[in-house]
Amino acid sequence: MTRVWLMPLVLLLLLQVVIFVEASISQGSILAQDVNFWRLREHHGVRFEVEEQHPLLRIQRDSAQSPFEVSRSRSKEFPDKWFEQPLDHFSKGEGTFQQRYWVNGRHYKTGGPVIVLDGGETSGKNRIPFLDTGIVEILAKATNGLGIVLEHRYYGKSIPVYNFSTDSMRWLNNAQSAADSANFMANVKFEGIDSDLTAPGTPWIYYGGSYAGARAAHMRVLYPELVFGAIASSGVTHATLANWEYMEIIRNAADPTCSKNLESAIAAIDDMLAMPLLRNRLKALFGLADLEHDDDFAALLERPLGAWQAKNWDPAVGSTRFDEFCDALAKPLIGSATSTLPGGVKVPLTVYNYAQYIRENYVSKCPEELTVEECFGTYDASKFRDTSLSQHWRGWIFQVCTEWGYFTSAPPDQSHPRIVSRLLTLEISSRICPLAFPPGTHFSVPSLPNITAVNALGDFDIAADRLAIIDGEVDPWRPATPHSDYASDRKDTILRPFKLIPNGVHHYDEYGLRKLRDEPLEIQKIHEEMIYFVKEWLKDRDSSNMTR
């Protein structure tokens, strides 16, 4: 009989308060919380894990997964190569830098195309598996093509500056990055190949996934004379400020029991955060009693949801941590499903499970020599002002703050079901921008990103002949792609492929196995369709050349 009431009693004791605390709404930042975790991973000397990244950083997710740790054999087969680029394509005189790239020449035969994969916002070295067994290898093999991975400026070793200060970052933008790719395609010479493979003389197929997927679509629109064809996989061609739909996809696609557990837990947590007599004891339950600001607490609770994007059809690559988190929330407790606190506040016992998960998986990462506030607080600006080149996180956050947005927030309608705290507003989520990038002498980060710089290139309706749009049905980034529910529907044609992978998450088609027949049927299907339409594109070009 004693055990029946043990858990409700524990909750009541932990949440009981003896002092009154003035209520307030804090202004923290989710991305700032991300930087805290980046610092903790660096402190422990452990690689940054994909499921511990914020949605904004999950675009660069690949660098965290074991198959993306490039083996020595791959490094030997795909050695670093370099191409000289101007720092500023539009105002000469700023000097040059070396842009890194890698080549797969296994299948190249004279007359074949070049398949180039945009490295996006991570070290290009993390994309080499796509050159080895993924989409570049698949398409190069099918077309007798030459495979390329091109590293993005300011990432990996393609660093054009000596520090990551606000002024030094000013050449990191859409226009300069696109001009890099165009200059590369028009002028690169490949060692060991006598033929001139520059565009437009040779057809170039430009591929990208996620942010790089948007870049692939943009390249087809901006440089149609150079980019013969492009494939935008999970291409986020719609930039937005408050990105609440990301979590809405997860809420609707997750196991219904898990979603309900999250909804009820978050609703109860928000109610308790709004009550001075309960707030501090709630934080104590999560092991965060000394975390000063409520928004930092709310941002920390959001972190396990990122594991959804880490799902993948290939178990060697994908993560199971989202399902493990759901299982933890549903762990059976002895006693009733809820406990009622003074004032009539009903607390689902899933809150206790949530608290245990956060304590064991996140709070435990805080070293003994640091306080909880030092680990997870975001109000000390000095944490975000190191501009040395070791601060790899600064590149993508700079792009977010200047042109892309995608700040995670709760649904604008507070009556709408939610799986993140209502404290996560646009103001809170974007606070990292002034913290990390104070005004420089030559450049200042805008108060909100200029998302028009992205959306003016086509937004949801971006389209062109030989531009393929491929997305995942349950990809949390789908609301920012042409497959968004906000976008107009289109026909799927050979000239303008428009494909949605059933139950697909993030750029599922980019991954591949050595033997296509070993892939799941839906992945085999999308790869076969991609091979077919690319071959048809090339066939049309060859036919056109013959008639000239």
Please identify every residue annotated as catalytic. Answer: 210, 475
Are 366 and 281 spatial neighbours (Cβ–Cβ below 8 Å)? no
Q: How far apart are CA 77 and CA 178, in angstroms?
A: 28
Torsion (CA) 126, 132, 133, 134 in degrees, nearest 10 = 50
Q: Token pair 């009550």 is at which residue?
A: 275
E-strand ranges in 77-156 read 81-86, 96-104, 114-118, 146-150
E-strand ranges in 288-389 read 338-340, 346-348
The DSSP secondary-structure symbol of 354 reads H
Phi, psi of 459 (to 5 degrees): 55, -140
The angle formed by the CA atoms of residues 354, 358 and 360, to the nearest 5 degrees, is 115
Q: Which residues contact 367 (CB under 8 A, 6 or more apart)?
A: 40, 43, 44, 375
- Whole-number Cα distances in Å, 503 to 506, 508, 512: 10, 10, 17
The DSSP code sequence of 388-437 is: STT-TTHHHHHHIIIIIEEE----SSTTS--SS-TT--HHHHTTHHHHH-
Q: How far apart are CA 463 and CA 497, in angstroms?
A: 10
Q: Is the omega angle on the peptide bond into residue 200 within 30 degrees of 0, that is, cis?
A: yes
Q: Token pair 């990244």 is at which residue?
A: 53
The DSSP secondary-structure symbol of 1 reads -
- Whole-number Cα distances in Å, 486 to 233, 478, 480, 482: 18, 10, 9, 8
Q: How far apart are CA 533 and CA 542, in angstroms?
A: 14
Q: Which residues contact 247 (CB under 8 A, 6 or more apart)?
A: 305, 408, 410, 418, 419, 420, 476
